[in-house]
Structure 1
Amino acid sequence: MSLLQLYGYARCSTCREAKRTLTEAGADVQFHDIVASPPDATTIRRWLQCSGRPIEDFVNTRGTVYRQRDLKRAQFSEDEWIMELTRDGRLLKRPILETPDGEVYVGYHEGAYRRIAMGGGD
């Protein structure tokens, strides 16, 4: 299997577990720390297109930043959310897994990650 792109936060235990699951199943993984280096708008737009999911599925609504900024009340357009996500990677739901064939998965599901790592998709 080709290189998988895993986007997450290095200090997040779920992201570390996701990476461990993939590598233990034999996958080559490149990890991107979204807090140290948030993805650009082009990357986020690619995720939206490839996943077919709305921007809201990529927003970390359980995170501290979301709650502190009271973003539940935000009436952002997709473009405005994308700009917010590029400014602060802590607002992104994590992990995000991108496969070489363009599939994008949001969140960690051990079984699905094992199947993906072994080349079976979900």
Structure 2
Amino acid sequence: MQPVLFLEYPKCTTCRRAKAWLDEHGVSYTDRHIVEENPTAEELAAWHELSGLPIRRFFNTSGMLYRERNIKAQLDAGMSDADACALLAENGMLVKRPLIVGDDFVLVGFKPEAWEQALLAGDR
């Protein structure tokens, strides 16, 4: 299996737990600092499509920036997916983390059961 892309904010405790999980399970990954190397709108659009998840799931809803900019209201008002991706690309702190991107899947947030299924099941 090709290394997955692991997008994280190193000071985030959930990201540290997720990274430890990857290391414990021998999952090969390329590490990327989500703030220093923020995902582009194009990357986010591709990952959104690949994930099959609603665009809202890509937002860090517990972050200060999300609340300060009242993004929930913008999403509720009918923001397009393209506009949401452009907004997410403005600042890595808006993006839910950690984010794992594989060849045929995207995992948003750290849920060990989902990670196990996507990263350890079958021939992976």
Q: Name the TM-score, length of structure 2 as normaliser.
A: 0.86
Measured after TM superposition, the shift of residue 55 of structure 1 is 1.1
Contact 2:100-2:107 at 8 Å conserved across structures: yes
Residue 28 of structure 2 corresponds to 28
Q: Which amino acid aligns with 1:84?
A: L
Contact 1:21-1:114 at 8 Å conserved across structures: no
Measured after TM superposition, the shift of residue 90 of structure 1 is 0.6
Contact 2:45-2:82 at 8 Å conserved across structures: no
Residue 109 of structure 1 corresponds to 111
Runs of 4+ with >6 A deviation: none
Gapped regions of structure 2 (runs ≥ 5): none
Q: Which amino acid aligns with 2:110?
A: Y
How far, CA to CA, are the matches of 1:72 and 1:44 in structure 2? 18
Aligned pairs, how many? 120
Q: Provide the alpha-carbon RMSD of the alignment.
A: 1.7
Gapped regions of structure 1 (runs ≥ 5): none
Contact 2:107-2:115 at 8 Å conserved across structures: no
Residue by residue over 1:38-75, the C-alpha shift from the partner in whole angstroms, topping out at 9 and shown as x without a partner, is 10112111111111112111111111101111222213
How far, CA to CA, are the matches of 2:61 and 2:106 in structure 1? 19
- Note the 1:1-80 alignment, pairs <5 A: 1-74=1-74, 75=77, 76-80=79-83
Contact 1:65-1:90 at 8 Å conserved across structures: yes
Q: Name the TM-score, length of structure 1 as normaliser.
A: 0.87
How far, CA to CA, are the matches of 1:17 and 1:99 in structure 2? 19
Measured after TM superposition, the shift of residue 85 of structure 1 is 0.8
Contact 1:23-1:29 at 8 Å conserved across structures: no
